[in-house]
Amino acid sequence: MAAGLADAETRERLRQVARPNSISRTLRKAGVALILAPDPITAVPGAMMLGASFATRRREPLSPASVVEETRKLLAEMGSFF
């Protein structure tokens, strides 16, 4: 469908919706940038972001179906309390 669109900006926006950016990659880039910054205070948050990027790398991105399934599980668990 995206190939049939004439406007390049619309194609790019549709691609971002269909395949969102990787959170892990974004955290890694920001963490490395903070570590390499000349300010010594930014090294600690940069190291934390770099570690978080490796922790989130193995996780799959959320889909609407996985959100609905998780909501059903939570509601079923909450129903057992009442």
- What is the 3-state composition of the chain as percent helix, strand, coil, each rounded to the nearest 5? 75, 0, 25
- Give residue 2's pLDDT: 47
Which residue, among 78, 39, 34, 72, has the nearest Cα to 53 in the 3D structure?
34
Per-residue tokens: 48: 């934390």
Distance separating alpha carbons of residues 49 and 28, to the nearest angstrom = 7
The CA–CA distances, whole Å, from 28 to 4, 14, 21, 38 equal 34, 25, 13, 18
Distance separating alpha carbons of residues 50 and 33, to the nearest angstrom = 10
Q: Kindly list the domain boundaries of the chain, sorted by start residue.
A: 22-79
pLDDT per residue over 27-70, tens digit each?
888 888 888 888 888 888 888 888 888 777 766 666 777 777 87
- Give residue 19's pLDDT: 66
